[in-house]
Structure 1
Amino acid sequence: MPWRWLIPILVLVAGPAAGQAPEPTPVPTVVFPFELADTSGEAASPGRDARIALATGQLARKLEQSGRYRAVDLAPLAAKVAATSPRYNCGGCWLDVARESGADLAVLPAVHKISTLISTMDIWVADLRSGQYVAHVQGQIRGDTDTAWLRGVDFLVDERLLRRPPP
């Protein structure tokens, strides 16, 4: 009978994806550069600016690779971004720049260096429509090196931020 051939065709067309939720669309997200609040009283460590750029790049890549976020380029707004520093203590002065970027979310990372051995890394995620923070993750890193900062970013994104429901 001809209908016997119809069942295998329907199975192939519907396949295992039938009934599964569609992949979420990545949310346009602006990732501000890491900021450093250094209260250690120590001399600036060699490569500090490069370390900040390296950690910021790693954060943006990991968020984008998760599929939840689509990085929005802040380069065209570099002067305005610089004028918002320090974002961790400016009362939301970064909001207008983030909104101007066309993003829906903003990621604001910061490191508080207490000593060469102890720093605290924070990552805040803000909804730009409401201006409210929708996520905050924090952890301590040991050492003021590229490796320590990158491990901090990896841990906070993989083990804390991405384990939360998407904002």
Structure 2
Amino acid sequence: MAILPVKLLDTSHEARDQAQDHERRLELLAKVLASGMAGQRIERTEVERACSPQTTDCLVKLLRDRGAERGLFVVVQKTSTLILQIFADLVDIRNEKLLVHKELNFRGDNDEAWRRAGEFLARQLEAAPDGASSRVR
């Protein structure tokens, strides 16, 4: 399973620039998911080189070219410091079919909250009927 870089949609309109914190937390979430689901992370630079603009068709082709059977697409929406939501799609790359869609809310915009959300999401994806077979050892 290939895990694409986690994307962020920040609609919080917070005054303080949090770009560095956001980048660190996106990386943290991707690492936690890769560890919890035995997936291979695709680096942001590879995606940027291969897909500009980053369309679904291009991302699926990139994963297919890398030999991935399944791909995990994740977006975090930050509404405020206290309210964040994760949208995750596990896709069968060969058949271009959505296998599992998960949405979860979590509270707290700090490293610990993001880590715990990633661990919970990995367990949820693994427990999903089609997600269980996504574990590759």
* TM-score, structure 2 as length reference: 0.81
Matches within 5 A, 1:133-148: 133-148=98-113
Counterpart in the other structure of 1:26: none
SS at match of 1:116: coil
Given that residues 31 and 41 in structure 2 are in contact (C-alpha distance below 8 angstroms), is that contact kept between their aligned partners in structure 1?
A: no
CA contact (8 A) 1:35 1:86 kept: no
Contact 1:122 1:139 survives alignment (8 Å): yes
What CA distance in whole angstroms lies between the structure 1 residues aligned with 2:69 and 2:24? 28
Q: Is residue 73–residue 101 contact of structure 1 (8 Å, CA) maintained in 2?
A: no
**Distance (whole Å) between structure 1 residues aligned to residue 120 and residue 94 of structure 2:** 28
RMSD of the alignment, in Å?
A: 2.1
Q: How many Å apart are 1:33 and its aligned residue?
A: 1.3
* Separation of aligned partners in 2, 1:86 and 1:153: 27
Mapped contact 2:7–2:75 kept (Cα < 8 A): yes
- Alignment partner for residue 33 of structure 2, among 55, 59, 66? 59
Q: Kindly tell me: are residues 85 and 117 of structure 1, through their superposed partners in 2, closer, same or farther at Cα, counting changes over 3 Å?
A: farther
Identity across matched positions, percent: 29
Instruction: Identify unmatched segments of 5+ residues in structure 1.
Output: 1-28, 65-70
Larger Rg over CA atoms: 1
Tell me by how many angstroms 1:100 deviates.
1.4
| Partners of 2:60 and 2:93 within 8 A in 1 | yes
Q: When the two structures are superposed, what TM-score results if normalisation uses the length of structure 1?
A: 0.68
Out of 11, 26, 47, the position equivalent to 1:81 is 47
CA shift, 1:41, in A, is 1.1
Shift in alpha-carbon separation, 1:92–1:37, aligned structure 2, 3 A: farther
CA contact (8 A) 2:99 2:130 kept: no
> What one-letter code is carried by the residue in structure 1 that aligns with 2:40?
V
**Alignment correspondent of 1:93:** 58
Query: Hey, what's the Cα distance between the residues in 2 that align with 1:86 and 1:151?
Result: 31
Higher relative contact order (CA 8 A, sep 6+): 2
Structure 2 portions without partners, runs of 5+? 132-137
* Residues in 1 aligned to 2:24 and 2:62: alpha-carbon distance in whole angstroms: 23
What SS class does the counterpart of residue 129 from structure 1 fall into?
coil
**For residues 35 and 108 of structure 2, what CA distance do their matches in structure 1 show?**
23
CA–CA distance in structure 1, aligned partners of residues 80 and 41 of structure 2: 32
Alignment of 1:12-161 (within 5 A): 29-42=1-14, 43-45=16-18, 46-64=20-38, 71-72=39-40, 74-75=42-43, 78-82=44-48, 84=51, 90-158=55-123, 160-161=124-125
